[in-house]
């Protein structure tokens, strides 16, 4: 089933921080174009486009918050033990909401609880084989979406964009860490 494309219009900004249609000349034009693209990407991310599409296509009955919880475990589980508290903290939700999400995912067989090897009193949360299958399905849909979005691009363009996008994101993450340190 082909994914539908939504083009966000530059002539009708949807947020107060959207940039004007006319771009300045020179190097500032490139920075302004990046800013406009960031605004459009933020709108797509805010609409949870890929996650919603993936949930619809795999038809599991899961919610976006369920995917977020499983994603936290996938992302940080190899570096540290993951508890319900860790999930709540990472998702910036109340611990009781995190506990309800985890309990529901355990009932569905996508997560399992286990005792910590470091502290037997702590209950850890891990992704089951069924949970990994859901994550694999979602990753496949994400790859298909990216492939479709870059259709017609040369292999070199895709490689360059991937490298530069990762570098740009790392730069933003570094700024965010500094911001959080200065803020706290």
Output the pLDDT for position 16: 40
Tell me how far apart the terminal alpha carbons of the chain are, to the nearest angstrom. Answer: 47
pTM of the model: 0.69
The structural domain count of the chain equals 2
Domain that holds residue 74: 62-133
Output the pLDDT for position 119: 74
Domain edge (last residue) among 87, 110, 133 = 133
In a domain, 162, yes or no: no
Per DSSP bridges, beta strands 123-127 and 111-115 are antiparallel
In a domain, 167, yes or no: no
In a domain, 84, yes or no: yes
Q: In this structure, are 70 and 126 located in the same domain?
A: yes
What DSSP element (H or E) covers 115?
Answer: strand 111-115
Averages of pLDDT over each 10 residues, the chain, 184 residues: 36 43 67 91 85 86 90 88 92 94 94 83 89 91 93 97 95 92 85
Residue 85 tokens, joined: 């508290």
Output the pLDDT for position 26: 62
Q: Which of 41, 56, 43, 50 is nearest to 68 (CA)?
A: 50
In a domain, 1, yes or no: yes
Output the pLDDT for position 145: 92
83 CB-near residues (< 8 Å, 6+ apart): 122, 123, 124, 125
Output the pLDDT for position 147: 95
2 CB-near residues (< 8 Å, 6+ apart): 148
In a domain, 87, yes or no: yes
Q: What is the CATH number of the domain that holds 74?
A: 1.10.10.10
């Amino acid at each position: 089933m082909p994914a539908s494309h939504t083009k966000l219009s530059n002539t009708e900004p949807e947020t107060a921080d959207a940039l004007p249609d006319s771009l300045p000349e020179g190097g500032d034009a490139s920075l302004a174009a990046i800013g406009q693209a960031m605004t459009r990407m933020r709108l797509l991310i805010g609409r949870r486009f890929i996650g919603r599409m993936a949930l619809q296509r795999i038809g599991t009955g899961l919610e976006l918050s369920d995917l977020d919880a499983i994603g936290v475990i996938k992302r940080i589980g190899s570096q540290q033990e993951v508890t319900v508290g860790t999930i709540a903290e990472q998702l910036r939700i109340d611990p009781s909401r995190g506990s309800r999400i985890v309990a529901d995912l355990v009932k569905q067989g996508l997560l399992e609880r286990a005792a910590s090897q470091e502290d037997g009193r702590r209950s850890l949360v891990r992704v089951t084989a069924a949970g990994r299958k859901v994550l694999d399905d979602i990753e496949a849909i994400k790859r298909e979406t990216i492939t479709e979005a870059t259709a017609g691009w040369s292999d070199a363009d895709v490689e360059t964009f991937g490298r530069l996008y990762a570098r740009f994101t790392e730069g933003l993450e570094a700024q965010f860490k500094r911001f959080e340190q200065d803020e706290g």
